[in-house]
Chains A and B, each alone.
Chain A
Amino acid sequence: MAFTLSVSLRETARLYLRYMTVGLVCIPLALLYAGARRADWNTTVVAGALIVLGFVGAFFVWRRLGDWRVVPADTSIEAWVDLLRIVAQQQTAVSLQQRLLQYRPRVDDETLGTYRKIFTRIASDDEIRKTAFNRILAHQQATLEQLSVVQGQSSQPNRTGTRPETQQGQPAWALALSGGLA
């Protein structure tokens, strides 16, 4: 309910700005109208022509400013998983927020929606998705191996009758993950 009200208020504010822009566009025409009226020209004809011109300008401005309705962003978990897969695939130093800000100077529903459209198009490519998933799995595997090595080194080496492999063995889900990769 609060979200609906917020969206409705934002749409009303956008409409207000559009109507204000239409009024601002008409200021030069208003000056012409004032000059014509002070010069005692045919007010009806001049006003009609200037109103038609104002309509044309308003039409172009209204189209230039785009849709005033708020496009609902797809915040489903699938969309964010796709987003994170692509980010993890590229493995750059750019954070997720910076990548969002790279497209538009501000992050709102429209930006997220546009960003999601772009990444949906990219993520719909099976090859890219497969590569991203394999890289995520490889990264997880390497992390687990590194972790197990560190844990093995930190265990006591002088204890007899114990093997580090059995003492600090990997969890079952990690073994299953390694088996799935192999």
Chain B
Amino acid sequence: MSFAEWLDLTSLKLLSQHTSAIAGAVVSFWAISKFVRWTAGIGTFADCVEYGEQFILAVLLLWFTYQMFVLLWKGRVRLQNGVHLVSFVA
């Protein structure tokens, strides 16, 4: 039995792509906000950047969760249509 018979490689590929992309985006926003806070010092602007960073990261992670649900839903519909997993590998 090969891996392709019990692993949906297409879903795994999509999952890895989304995960890589969201990890890159989160790290980018975190690094930018960290740099801005470091340059701004202590004050109102730094607080606003910190709160804004929290909000943006929350929205990004929620949007990523939504995308994962969409991915799962499409894979479920795909499997319910009777298409075997092996056909997705090619």
Residues of A with Cβ closer than 8 Å to B? 8, 11-12, 15-16, 18-20, 22-23, 26-27, 29-31, 33-35, 37-38, 47, 50-51, 54-55, 58
Cβ B63 vs Cβ A47 within 8 A: no
What is the size, in residues, of chain B's interface with A at 8 Å between Cβ atoms? 27
The residue in chain A whose Cβ has the minimal distance to the Cβ of B47 is A38
Which of B21, B25, B55, B56 is most buried by chain A, counting CB atoms within 10 A of its CB?
Answer: B55
21 contacts between A and B (CB under 8 A): A15-B18, A15-B20, A15-B21, A16-B25, A18-B21, A19-B63, A20-B25, A22-B59, A23-B56, A26-B55, A29-B59, A30-B52, A34-B48, A37-B51, A38-B44, A38-B48, A50-B55, A51-B55, A54-B63, A55-B62, A58-B59
Interface residues of B (CB under 8 A from A): 13, 17-18, 20-22, 24-25, 28-29, 44, 47-53, 55-56, 58-60, 62-64, 66
If A20-B28, A38-B47, A38-B51 touch, whether A55 touches B66 (CB-CB below 8 Å) is yes
Distance A16 CA – B29 CA, assembled complex (angstroms): 12
Give the total number of A-B pairs whose CB atoms are below 8 A apart: 81
